[in-house]
Amino acid sequence: MTATAPGRQATPWTLARRAERMNPSIIREILKVTERPGILSLAGGLPSPDSFPVEAMREASERVLKDAGREALQYAASEGYAPLREWVAAHVQAQGLRVDASQVLITTGSQQGLDLCGKVLIDAGSRVLVETPTYLGALQAFAPYEPEIAAVPSDDEGPLPEALRDCAAGARFFYLLPNFQNPSGRSMSAARRVALAAEAARLGLPLLEDNPYGDLWFDAPPPPALASQHPEGAIYLGSFSKVLAPGLRLGYVVAPKALYPKLLQAKQAADLHTPVFNQRVVHEVIKDGFLDTHVPRIRTRYAAQRDAMRAALERHMPEGCRWNTPTGGMFFWVELPRGFDAMALLPMAVDAGVAFVPGAAFYATEPQLNTLRLSFVTLTPEQIALAVETLAGVVRAAQKEAA
Protein backbone atom coordinates (compact mmCIF):
# COMPACT_ATOMS: atom_id res chain seq x y z
CA MET A 1 0.00 0.00 0.00
CA THR A 2 1.51 3.33 -0.99
CA ALA A 3 0.20 6.84 -0.92
CA THR A 4 1.59 9.98 -2.52
CA ALA A 5 1.36 13.51 -1.17
CA PRO A 6 1.73 16.34 -3.70
CA GLY A 7 5.34 17.42 -4.01
CA ARG A 8 6.68 14.58 -1.87
CA GLN A 9 7.99 11.15 -2.49
CA ALA A 10 5.47 8.40 -1.83
CA THR A 11 5.94 6.86 1.59
CA PRO A 12 5.40 3.15 1.51
CA TRP A 13 3.53 1.80 4.50
CA THR A 14 4.32 -1.89 4.68
CA LEU A 15 1.54 -3.75 6.41
CA ALA A 16 2.12 -6.68 8.73
CA ARG A 17 1.14 -10.00 7.19
CA ARG A 18 -1.56 -10.43 9.84
CA ALA A 19 -3.32 -7.32 8.50
CA GLU A 20 -4.41 -9.38 5.49
CA ARG A 21 -6.57 -11.41 7.87
CA MET A 22 -8.38 -8.31 9.13
CA ASN A 23 -11.61 -7.44 7.37
CA PRO A 24 -14.49 -5.09 7.94
CA SER A 25 -17.20 -6.76 9.99
CA ILE A 26 -19.74 -8.13 7.51
CA ILE A 27 -22.44 -7.56 10.10
CA ARG A 28 -21.51 -3.91 10.56
CA GLU A 29 -21.56 -3.46 6.80
CA ILE A 30 -24.99 -5.09 6.61
CA LEU A 31 -26.26 -2.98 9.50
CA LYS A 32 -25.28 0.18 7.64
CA VAL A 33 -27.59 -0.86 4.79
CA THR A 34 -30.39 -2.25 6.88
CA GLU A 35 -30.72 0.25 9.71
CA ARG A 36 -32.17 2.99 7.60
CA PRO A 37 -35.42 4.53 8.81
CA GLY A 38 -38.57 2.55 8.13
CA ILE A 39 -36.84 -0.84 8.07
CA LEU A 40 -38.01 -3.33 10.69
CA SER A 41 -34.62 -4.70 11.65
CA LEU A 42 -34.17 -8.16 13.07
CA ALA A 43 -30.49 -7.86 12.17
CA GLY A 44 -28.89 -6.04 15.10
CA GLY A 45 -27.39 -7.80 18.07
CA LEU A 46 -28.01 -4.75 20.25
CA PRO A 47 -29.71 -5.16 23.62
CA SER A 48 -32.89 -3.16 24.02
CA PRO A 49 -32.04 0.35 25.24
CA ASP A 50 -35.30 0.26 27.20
CA SER A 51 -33.47 -2.11 29.51
CA PHE A 52 -30.61 0.28 30.30
CA PRO A 53 -30.65 1.52 33.91
CA VAL A 54 -30.04 5.14 33.00
CA GLU A 55 -31.22 6.57 36.31
CA ALA A 56 -29.17 4.12 38.40
CA MET A 57 -26.14 5.00 36.25
CA ARG A 58 -26.74 8.70 36.80
CA GLU A 59 -26.94 8.31 40.56
CA ALA A 60 -23.89 6.06 40.65
CA SER A 61 -21.81 8.43 38.50
CA GLU A 62 -22.71 11.25 40.83
CA ARG A 63 -21.77 9.26 43.94
CA VAL A 64 -18.50 7.99 42.49
CA LEU A 65 -17.37 11.46 41.43
CA LYS A 66 -18.47 12.96 44.74
CA ASP A 67 -16.90 10.33 46.99
CA ALA A 68 -13.86 9.22 45.01
CA GLY A 69 -13.53 11.60 42.05
CA ARG A 70 -9.74 11.67 42.03
CA GLU A 71 -9.35 7.92 42.26
CA ALA A 72 -12.00 7.39 39.58
CA LEU A 73 -10.11 9.67 37.18
CA GLN A 74 -6.52 8.55 37.91
CA TYR A 75 -4.47 5.74 36.35
CA ALA A 76 -5.33 2.46 38.02
CA ALA A 77 -4.34 -1.20 38.30
CA SER A 78 -4.25 -3.24 35.08
CA GLU A 79 -6.00 -6.11 36.89
CA GLY A 80 -9.11 -3.98 37.46
CA TYR A 81 -10.90 -2.32 40.39
CA ALA A 82 -10.52 -4.67 43.36
CA PRO A 83 -14.14 -4.55 44.62
CA LEU A 84 -15.43 -5.26 41.11
CA ARG A 85 -13.05 -8.22 40.81
CA GLU A 86 -14.42 -9.52 44.13
CA TRP A 87 -17.97 -9.12 42.84
CA VAL A 88 -17.15 -11.02 39.63
CA ALA A 89 -15.48 -13.83 41.57
CA ALA A 90 -18.58 -14.23 43.74
CA HIS A 91 -20.86 -14.06 40.68
CA VAL A 92 -19.03 -16.80 38.77
CA GLN A 93 -18.69 -18.93 41.92
CA ALA A 94 -22.49 -19.08 41.83
CA GLN A 95 -22.12 -20.72 38.41
CA GLY A 96 -19.98 -23.43 39.88
CA LEU A 97 -16.52 -22.02 39.25
CA ARG A 98 -14.07 -22.43 42.10
CA VAL A 99 -12.10 -19.22 41.63
CA ASP A 100 -11.00 -16.23 43.63
CA ALA A 101 -10.70 -12.55 42.78
CA SER A 102 -6.98 -12.88 41.94
CA GLN A 103 -8.04 -14.83 38.83
CA VAL A 104 -10.31 -12.05 37.55
CA LEU A 105 -9.04 -9.61 34.92
CA ILE A 106 -11.37 -6.74 34.05
CA THR A 107 -11.38 -6.08 30.28
CA THR A 108 -12.63 -3.39 27.92
CA GLY A 109 -15.65 -5.46 26.94
CA SER A 110 -15.43 -9.21 26.57
CA GLN A 111 -14.27 -8.59 22.98
CA GLN A 112 -10.96 -7.54 24.54
CA GLY A 113 -10.92 -10.80 26.48
CA LEU A 114 -11.08 -12.64 23.15
CA ASP A 115 -8.28 -10.50 21.75
CA LEU A 116 -6.01 -11.04 24.77
CA CYS A 117 -6.57 -14.81 24.68
CA GLY A 118 -5.71 -14.82 20.99
CA LYS A 119 -2.61 -12.73 21.62
CA VAL A 120 -1.31 -14.97 24.37
CA LEU A 121 -2.28 -18.36 22.92
CA ILE A 122 -2.29 -18.30 19.11
CA ASP A 123 0.76 -18.55 16.87
CA ALA A 124 0.50 -18.28 13.09
CA GLY A 125 -0.82 -21.65 11.96
CA SER A 126 -2.01 -22.75 15.41
CA ARG A 127 -5.16 -24.84 15.33
CA VAL A 128 -8.15 -23.29 17.10
CA LEU A 129 -11.44 -25.17 17.41
CA VAL A 130 -14.81 -23.41 17.17
CA GLU A 131 -18.47 -24.39 17.08
CA THR A 132 -20.55 -24.62 13.90
CA PRO A 133 -21.77 -21.87 13.57
CA THR A 134 -19.81 -19.59 15.94
CA TYR A 135 -19.65 -15.98 17.13
CA LEU A 136 -18.31 -13.75 14.37
CA GLY A 137 -16.62 -11.33 16.82
CA ALA A 138 -14.48 -14.18 18.13
CA LEU A 139 -13.37 -15.12 14.62
CA GLN A 140 -12.44 -11.47 14.10
CA ALA A 141 -10.53 -11.25 17.37
CA PHE A 142 -8.53 -14.40 16.60
CA ALA A 143 -7.92 -13.72 12.88
CA PRO A 144 -4.99 -11.29 13.27
CA TYR A 145 -3.05 -14.00 15.11
CA GLU A 146 -3.36 -16.18 12.00
CA PRO A 147 -4.84 -19.39 13.43
CA GLU A 148 -6.02 -22.34 11.38
CA ILE A 149 -9.66 -22.56 12.44
CA ALA A 150 -11.33 -25.97 12.59
CA ALA A 151 -15.10 -26.23 13.03
CA VAL A 152 -16.32 -29.00 15.35
CA PRO A 153 -19.47 -30.83 14.20
CA SER A 154 -22.48 -30.50 16.45
CA ASP A 155 -26.10 -31.50 16.97
CA ASP A 156 -28.93 -29.68 18.78
CA GLU A 157 -27.28 -30.24 22.16
CA GLY A 158 -23.96 -28.72 21.14
CA PRO A 159 -20.60 -29.86 19.76
CA LEU A 160 -20.07 -33.62 19.60
CA PRO A 161 -17.54 -34.89 22.17
CA GLU A 162 -16.62 -37.83 19.95
CA ALA A 163 -15.59 -35.37 17.24
CA LEU A 164 -12.86 -33.86 19.44
CA ARG A 165 -10.48 -36.79 19.21
CA ASP A 166 -9.88 -36.16 15.52
CA CYS A 167 -9.26 -32.44 15.76
CA ALA A 168 -7.87 -31.76 19.25
CA ALA A 169 -4.25 -32.65 18.51
CA GLY A 170 -2.16 -29.51 18.82
CA ALA A 171 -5.21 -27.25 19.18
CA ARG A 172 -4.48 -24.23 21.34
CA PHE A 173 -8.08 -24.12 22.60
CA PHE A 174 -11.72 -24.83 21.80
CA TYR A 175 -13.82 -21.65 21.76
CA LEU A 176 -17.35 -22.29 23.04
CA LEU A 177 -20.44 -20.22 23.76
CA PRO A 178 -22.63 -22.72 25.67
CA ASN A 179 -25.58 -20.49 26.67
CA PHE A 180 -28.06 -19.10 24.10
CA GLN A 181 -25.32 -18.93 21.55
CA ASN A 182 -24.82 -16.05 19.16
CA PRO A 183 -25.87 -16.72 16.41
CA SER A 184 -27.74 -20.01 16.83
CA GLY A 185 -29.62 -19.39 20.09
CA ARG A 186 -28.60 -22.93 21.03
CA SER A 187 -27.83 -23.99 24.60
CA MET A 188 -25.64 -26.90 25.50
CA SER A 189 -27.32 -29.57 27.61
CA ALA A 190 -25.98 -30.44 31.06
CA ALA A 191 -25.02 -33.93 29.92
CA ARG A 192 -23.21 -32.58 26.86
CA ARG A 193 -21.23 -30.17 29.04
CA VAL A 194 -20.10 -32.99 31.30
CA ALA A 195 -19.14 -35.14 28.35
CA LEU A 196 -17.35 -32.33 26.52
CA ALA A 197 -15.41 -31.18 29.59
CA ALA A 198 -14.38 -34.75 30.38
CA GLU A 199 -13.24 -35.41 26.83
CA ALA A 200 -11.36 -32.08 26.71
CA ALA A 201 -9.63 -32.91 30.01
CA ARG A 202 -8.75 -36.37 28.71
CA LEU A 203 -7.32 -34.96 25.50
CA GLY A 204 -5.51 -32.06 27.21
CA LEU A 205 -7.60 -29.61 25.19
CA PRO A 206 -7.98 -26.14 26.77
CA LEU A 207 -11.42 -24.51 26.63
CA LEU A 208 -12.25 -20.85 26.09
CA GLU A 209 -15.79 -20.46 27.43
CA ASP A 210 -17.66 -17.29 26.49
CA ASN A 211 -20.80 -16.49 28.46
CA PRO A 212 -22.27 -13.08 27.58
CA TYR A 213 -25.90 -14.27 27.61
CA GLY A 214 -26.00 -16.76 30.50
CA ASP A 215 -28.01 -14.50 32.81
CA LEU A 216 -30.71 -13.96 30.16
CA TRP A 217 -32.50 -17.30 30.73
CA PHE A 218 -36.29 -17.39 30.46
CA ASP A 219 -37.39 -20.60 32.20
CA ALA A 220 -34.52 -22.00 34.21
CA PRO A 221 -30.88 -21.04 34.75
CA PRO A 222 -28.43 -22.79 32.41
CA PRO A 223 -26.44 -25.80 33.63
CA PRO A 224 -23.07 -25.18 35.34
CA ALA A 225 -20.29 -23.65 33.28
CA LEU A 226 -17.98 -26.00 31.37
CA ALA A 227 -15.12 -24.26 33.15
CA SER A 228 -16.41 -25.61 36.48
CA GLN A 229 -15.68 -29.14 35.22
CA HIS A 230 -12.24 -28.42 33.73
CA PRO A 231 -10.95 -25.64 36.02
CA GLU A 232 -7.24 -25.64 35.22
CA GLY A 233 -7.93 -26.07 31.53
CA ALA A 234 -10.53 -23.38 30.95
CA ILE A 235 -10.69 -19.63 30.56
CA TYR A 236 -14.10 -18.11 31.23
CA LEU A 237 -15.28 -14.80 29.70
CA GLY A 238 -18.14 -12.68 30.99
CA SER A 239 -19.65 -9.29 30.27
CA PHE A 240 -21.79 -6.51 31.69
CA SER A 241 -22.97 -5.58 28.18
CA LYS A 242 -26.15 -7.63 28.18
CA VAL A 243 -27.23 -7.22 31.82
CA LEU A 244 -26.38 -3.52 32.21
CA ALA A 245 -25.21 -1.67 29.10
CA PRO A 246 -22.72 -2.32 26.29
CA GLY A 247 -21.64 1.30 25.90
CA LEU A 248 -19.62 1.03 29.12
CA ARG A 249 -17.39 -1.67 27.58
CA LEU A 250 -16.97 -3.78 30.69
CA GLY A 251 -16.17 -7.46 30.55
CA TYR A 252 -13.95 -9.88 32.37
CA VAL A 253 -11.67 -12.86 31.95
CA VAL A 254 -11.44 -15.52 34.65
CA ALA A 255 -8.24 -17.45 34.06
CA PRO A 256 -6.35 -20.35 35.65
CA LYS A 257 -3.60 -19.04 37.92
CA ALA A 258 -0.93 -20.47 35.64
CA LEU A 259 -2.15 -18.33 32.76
CA TYR A 260 -3.22 -15.12 34.51
CA PRO A 261 0.14 -13.30 34.54
CA LYS A 262 0.56 -13.48 30.76
CA LEU A 263 -2.99 -12.26 30.14
CA LEU A 264 -2.31 -9.41 32.56
CA GLN A 265 0.88 -8.45 30.74
CA ALA A 266 -0.98 -8.52 27.42
CA LYS A 267 -3.70 -6.33 28.95
CA GLN A 268 -1.13 -3.83 30.21
CA ALA A 269 0.43 -3.58 26.75
CA ALA A 270 -2.98 -3.27 25.08
CA ASP A 271 -4.55 -0.34 26.99
CA LEU A 272 -2.91 -0.17 30.47
CA HIS A 273 -6.27 -0.71 32.18
CA THR A 274 -10.02 -0.53 31.58
CA PRO A 275 -11.49 2.89 32.48
CA VAL A 276 -11.63 2.88 36.27
CA PHE A 277 -14.44 5.44 36.25
CA ASN A 278 -16.65 2.90 34.44
CA GLN A 279 -15.57 0.12 36.78
CA ARG A 280 -16.39 2.15 39.87
CA VAL A 281 -19.74 3.32 38.50
CA VAL A 282 -20.79 -0.22 37.58
CA HIS A 283 -19.67 -1.53 40.95
CA GLU A 284 -21.65 1.25 42.64
CA VAL A 285 -24.73 0.26 40.62
CA ILE A 286 -24.54 -3.47 41.32
CA LYS A 287 -22.93 -3.80 44.74
CA ASP A 288 -26.17 -3.96 46.74
CA GLY A 289 -28.07 -6.45 44.59
CA PHE A 290 -29.40 -4.19 41.82
CA LEU A 291 -29.07 -6.98 39.24
CA ASP A 292 -31.27 -9.28 41.34
CA THR A 293 -34.26 -7.17 40.38
CA HIS A 294 -32.96 -5.66 37.14
CA VAL A 295 -32.04 -8.85 35.27
CA PRO A 296 -35.42 -10.54 35.90
CA ARG A 297 -37.06 -7.52 34.28
CA ILE A 298 -34.87 -7.97 31.19
CA ARG A 299 -35.73 -11.69 31.16
CA THR A 300 -39.46 -10.96 31.26
CA ARG A 301 -39.16 -8.43 28.45
CA TYR A 302 -37.04 -10.64 26.22
CA ALA A 303 -39.18 -13.74 26.92
CA ALA A 304 -42.27 -11.90 25.69
CA GLN A 305 -40.41 -10.88 22.55
CA ARG A 306 -39.16 -14.44 22.07
CA ASP A 307 -42.75 -15.67 22.39
CA ALA A 308 -43.92 -13.14 19.82
CA MET A 309 -41.28 -14.28 17.37
CA ARG A 310 -41.97 -17.95 17.91
CA ALA A 311 -45.70 -17.40 17.34
CA ALA A 312 -45.05 -15.34 14.22
CA LEU A 313 -42.61 -17.91 12.81
CA GLU A 314 -45.13 -20.70 13.41
CA ARG A 315 -47.93 -18.70 11.87
CA HIS A 316 -46.20 -17.31 8.82
CA MET A 317 -43.09 -19.17 7.72
CA PRO A 318 -43.60 -21.49 4.75
CA GLU A 319 -43.14 -25.22 4.96
CA GLY A 320 -39.58 -26.46 4.88
CA CYS A 321 -38.26 -23.76 7.22
CA ARG A 322 -36.77 -24.87 10.54
CA TRP A 323 -35.86 -23.11 13.76
CA ASN A 324 -35.23 -24.08 17.34
CA THR A 325 -36.82 -22.02 20.07
CA PRO A 326 -34.16 -20.36 22.24
CA THR A 327 -34.65 -20.65 26.01
CA GLY A 328 -32.78 -17.39 26.63
CA GLY A 329 -30.57 -14.81 24.99
CA MET A 330 -31.44 -12.72 21.96
CA PHE A 331 -31.57 -14.84 18.79
CA PHE A 332 -33.55 -17.24 16.66
CA TRP A 333 -31.65 -19.21 14.03
CA VAL A 334 -33.70 -20.12 10.98
CA GLU A 335 -32.88 -22.66 8.30
CA LEU A 336 -34.62 -21.99 5.01
CA PRO A 337 -35.34 -24.89 2.66
CA ARG A 338 -32.26 -26.35 0.97
CA GLY A 339 -31.05 -24.38 -2.01
CA PHE A 340 -31.91 -20.98 -0.51
CA ASP A 341 -29.15 -18.39 -0.20
CA ALA A 342 -30.03 -16.03 2.65
CA MET A 343 -27.51 -13.46 1.41
CA ALA A 344 -29.33 -13.29 -1.94
CA LEU A 345 -32.63 -12.97 -0.09
CA LEU A 346 -31.48 -9.97 1.98
CA PRO A 347 -31.89 -7.24 -0.69
CA MET A 348 -35.42 -8.45 -1.41
CA ALA A 349 -36.21 -8.41 2.30
CA VAL A 350 -34.82 -4.90 2.69
CA ASP A 351 -36.95 -3.78 -0.28
CA ALA A 352 -39.95 -5.24 1.53
CA GLY A 353 -38.98 -3.37 4.72
CA VAL A 354 -37.37 -6.04 6.91
CA ALA A 355 -33.75 -6.95 7.67
CA PHE A 356 -31.87 -9.95 9.10
CA VAL A 357 -28.30 -11.24 9.15
CA PRO A 358 -27.48 -14.04 6.68
CA GLY A 359 -25.95 -16.95 8.56
CA ALA A 360 -22.96 -17.55 6.29
CA ALA A 361 -20.79 -15.02 8.18
CA PHE A 362 -20.92 -17.16 11.31
CA TYR A 363 -19.24 -20.19 9.79
CA ALA A 364 -15.47 -20.48 10.10
CA THR A 365 -15.49 -22.99 7.22
CA GLU A 366 -18.12 -24.30 4.77
CA PRO A 367 -20.93 -21.81 5.36
CA GLN A 368 -24.49 -23.10 5.34
CA LEU A 369 -26.03 -20.56 2.95
CA ASN A 370 -29.68 -21.23 3.81
CA THR A 371 -29.38 -19.96 7.41
CA LEU A 372 -30.21 -16.61 8.94
CA ARG A 373 -30.14 -14.98 12.37
CA LEU A 374 -33.14 -13.08 13.75
CA SER A 375 -32.79 -10.90 16.84
CA PHE A 376 -35.94 -10.56 18.92
CA VAL A 377 -34.82 -7.93 21.42
CA THR A 378 -34.91 -4.73 19.36
CA LEU A 379 -38.53 -4.56 18.17
CA THR A 380 -41.83 -4.66 20.06
CA PRO A 381 -43.91 -7.87 19.90
CA GLU A 382 -46.24 -6.14 17.40
CA GLN A 383 -43.34 -5.09 15.19
CA ILE A 384 -41.85 -8.57 15.45
CA ALA A 385 -45.13 -10.09 14.22
CA LEU A 386 -45.19 -7.73 11.25
CA ALA A 387 -41.48 -8.20 10.47
CA VAL A 388 -41.72 -11.99 10.47
CA GLU A 389 -44.89 -11.91 8.35
CA THR A 390 -43.09 -9.68 5.86
CA LEU A 391 -40.02 -11.92 5.86
CA ALA A 392 -42.19 -15.00 5.31
CA GLY A 393 -43.76 -13.27 2.32
CA VAL A 394 -40.34 -12.62 0.83
CA VAL A 395 -39.34 -16.26 1.32
CA ARG A 396 -42.56 -17.42 -0.31
CA ALA A 397 -42.09 -15.08 -3.26
CA ALA A 398 -38.56 -16.35 -3.76
CA GLN A 399 -39.81 -19.93 -3.59
CA LYS A 400 -42.37 -19.21 -6.32
CA GLU A 401 -39.76 -17.53 -8.48
CA ALA A 402 -37.43 -20.52 -8.16
CA ALA A 403 -40.18 -23.03 -8.84
Q: Strand, coil or helix: what is 150?
A: strand
126 near its own copies, rule: CB under 8 A: yes
Tell me how far, at minimum, the Cβ of 386 lies from its own copies, in Å: 23
Label residue 254 left, alpha or beta by phi (over 0 means left) and psi (-120 to 50 means alpha).
beta
Q: Which stretch binds its own copies (CB under 8 A): 133-141, 151-159, 185-193, 212-220?
A: 133-141
User: Taking contact as CB under 8 A, which single stretch among the options 219-227, 264-272, 309-317, 366-374 is the one that binds its own copies?
Assistant: 264-272
Name which position in 94, 220, 258, 403 contacts its own copies (CB under 8 A).
Answer: 258
Site map (CB under 8 A) of its own copies, residues 326-365, x = contact: ----------------------------------------
Instruction: Examine residue 102 and tell whether it contacts its own copies (CB under 8 A).
Output: no
Residue 135 and residue 181 in contact, taking contact as beta carbons nearer than 8 Å = yes
Residues 153-172, one symbol each (x = binds its own copies by CB under 8 A, - = not), give: -------------------x
Instruction: Return the residues of window 70-99 that contact its own copies according to CB under 8 A.
Output: 70-76, 78
Q: Does 270 bind its own copies (CB under 8 A)?
A: yes
Q: Please identify, using beta-carbon distances, which residue of 13 and 289 lies nearer to its own copies.
A: 13
> Which range touches its own copies (CB under 8 A), out of 263-271, 294-302, 326-334, 382-390?
263-271
- Per CB under 8 A, 18 contacts its own copies: yes
232 makes contact with its own copies (CB under 8 A) = yes
Asked if 46 touches its own copies (CB under 8 A), the answer is yes
Concatenate the DSSP letters of all residues of 62-128 into one string.
HHHHHHHHHHHHS---TT--HHHHHHHHHHHHTTT----GGGEEEESHHHHHHHHHHHHH--TT-EE
Q: Mapping DSSP to helix (H, G, I), strand (E, B) and coil, where does residue 385 land?
A: helix
Residues 236 to 255: which contact its own copies by CB under 8 A? 241, 244-249
Q: Buried (b) or exposed (e) across 199-221, using 16+ Cβ within 10 A?
A: bbbebebbbbbbbbbbbbbbeee
- Select 2 or 293, whichever has its Cβ closest to its own copies: 2
Cα angle vertex 315, ends 312, 317, to 5°? 85
* Residue 222 CB burial class (10 angstroms; 0-12, 13-18, ≥19): buried
304 touching its own copies, by CB under 8 A? no
Is 212 a binding residue for its own copies by CB under 8 A? The answer is: no
Q: Does 65 bind its own copies (CB under 8 A)?
A: yes
- Among residues 169 and 344, whose Cβ is nearest to its own copies? 169
Residue 12 has φ and ψ, to the nearest 5°, of -80, 120
Task: Out of 36, 202, 297, 322, name the contact with its own copies by CB under 8 A.
Answer: 202
Given candidates 93, 189, 265, 324, which one binds its own copies under the rule CB under 8 A? 265
* H or E element in which residue 237 lies: strand 234-239
In DSSP terms, which residues pair with 355 in a beta bridge?
Answer: 41
Q: Do 81 and 89 touch, CB atoms closer than 8 A? A: no
Q: Out of 29, 33, 36, 49, which residue is the one contacting its own copies (CB under 8 A)?
A: 49
Instruction: Find the shortest distance in angstroms from Cβ 337 to its own copies.
Output: 33
- The answer, yes or no, to whether the previous bond of 24 is cis (omega within 30 of 0) is no
Q: Name the strand (E) or helix (H) holding 352.
A: helix 342-352
- CA-to-CA distance for 290 and 284, rounded, in angstroms? 10
Report if residue 151 touches its own copies, rule: CB under 8 A. no
d(CA 101, CA 82): 8
